[in-house]
Amino acid sequence: MAWQDLSSETTEDLVAYLGWIDDPELAQQAKEAFQAFCFRFQADIVKKCRVVSRNRGYDKHIADDIAQRTFERFLKYPNFDLSKSKVSDYDNGIKLYLYRFAENLFNDFYNDQHSENPNPYIGDEDLVYDMPSIENISGKTEQLRVIREKYELIQKALDRLSPKHKIIYLTYQQHAQQGFKLPRRLTEKLRTELQLTQATIQFYKKEAFDKINEYLEIYGSK
């Protein structure tokens, strides 16, 4: 099936097909649905981005790049909910949803251009579910022994926490940068996937880091 064969599908169905992107048997159809989705809204999003870009003093190349990244963000976070939209029509709701993605990307671009400390995030950050492998690390024997001991202690401590604590701890441990908040899209995905409020996520985060530090202090000194 080519993406053109999906041109008559409703936008709501195309968005539903995007949820198959991680299914090996259905991933190709999800990719074709994404192409059909982009074709349906591309002209509108590019036009909108070029207007905003011109008003902010940027050229059309910046606009086109942000338009492309807008669709990439949607593919990564296709969480549109019509019940939360200001409009009742699904397609118009999708447009407004994409506009918000684009606006956030323009704001991020501006902040990067005017910050003494450029934003370290590039937009592909994702939730972390498991400890990374250390099988292929290299170094001196003593250094490797210390790393493995600490790795095993953290793994044991995580096993004593809930799955939600574990995901929150690993995600913050992997992506947190001093002086910067996690990307908005990443915290939104945490809230959506774990079904927690941001306040609860912060509480779980503190519990997890406190437990890990406590475990390392008790057992790491032996």
The CATH number covering residue 104 comes to 1.10.1740
Interval 1-58: pLDDT, tens: 577 888 889 999 999 998 888 788 888 888 899 999 999 999 999 999 999 999 999 9
Q: Cα(43)–Cα(39) distance, rounded to whole angstroms? A: 8
Residue 27 and residue 72 share a domain: yes
One pLDDT digit (tens) per residue for the chain, 222 residues: 577 888 889 999 999 998 888 788 888 888 899 999 999 999 999 999 999 999 999 988 889 989 988 998 898 888 888 888 889 999 999 999 999 999 999 988 887 777 666 667 777 789 999 887 766 565 566 666 777 878 888 888 888 889 999 999 999 998 988 777 788 888 888 998 999 888 889 989 998 999 888 888 887 655
Residue 127 lies in a domain: no
Q: Cα(201)–Cα(195) distance, rounded to whole angstroms? A: 10
| pTM reported for the whole predicted model | 0.55
Residue 24 and residue 81 share a domain: yes
Q: Cα(112)–Cα(119) distance, rounded to whole angstroms? A: 6
Q: Which residues of 167-197 are buried (b: 16+ CB within 10 A; e: fewer)?
A: bbbbbbbebeeeeeebbebbeebbeeebebe
> Do 184 and 108 contact (CB within 8 A), yes or no?
no
What region, left, alpha or beta, does residue 11 occupy, with left being phi > 0 and alpha being psi -120 to 50 degrees? alpha
> Do 175 and 217 contact (CB within 8 A), yes or no?
no
Please count the structural domains in the chain.
Answer: 2
Residue 203 lies in a domain: yes
Residue 120 lies in a domain: no
- Residue 211's domain comprises 141-219
Q: Cα(182)–Cα(120) distance, rounded to whole angstroms? A: 10
Residue 7 lies in a domain: yes
Residue 145 and residue 110 share a domain: no
Residue 24 and residue 102 share a domain: yes
Residue 170 lies in a domain: yes
**Residue 18 three-state SS:** helix
Report the run of H or E that residue 13 belongs to, with start and end: helix 11-18
Residue 206 lies in a domain: yes
Q: Is 159 exposed, middle or buried (0-12, 13-18, 19+ CB in 10 A)?
A: exposed
Residue 128 lies in a domain: no
CATH assignment at residue 168:
1.10.10.10
